[in-house]
């Protein structure tokens, strides 16, 4: 019959955790306008509109939300 020995290491309890917080390679989200929070927005759109947003997003290296923000800002000046 084999005997198994279990050893516990206290080193793993004291090691600095490698999870949580901002990673070194992440720049974080751009800051919002003062006093304004981002909100979720869900809607049904034409597939061509979705394709256009995706194309502009890849071209400008912006998120879909940032593309929509740009469109909204453009419509204010027209």
Question: What are the angstrom distances between the C-alpha of 69 and each of 16, 33, 56?
Answer: 40, 12, 12
pTM assigned to the model: 0.53
CB 75 within 8 A of CB 67: no
pLDDT tens-digit readout, 24-64 = 666 666 677 788 888 888 999 999 999 999 999 999 999 89
């Amino acid at each position: 019959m084999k005997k198994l020995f279990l050893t516990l290491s206290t080193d793993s309890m004291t090691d600095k955790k490698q999870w949580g917080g901002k990673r070194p390679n992440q720049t974080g989200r751009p800051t919002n306008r003062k006093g304004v929070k981002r909100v979720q927005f869900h809607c049904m759109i034409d597939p061509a509109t979705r394709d256009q947003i995706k194309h502009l997003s890849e071209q400008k290296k912006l998120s879909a939300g940032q593309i929509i923000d740009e469109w909204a800002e453009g419509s204010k000046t027209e």
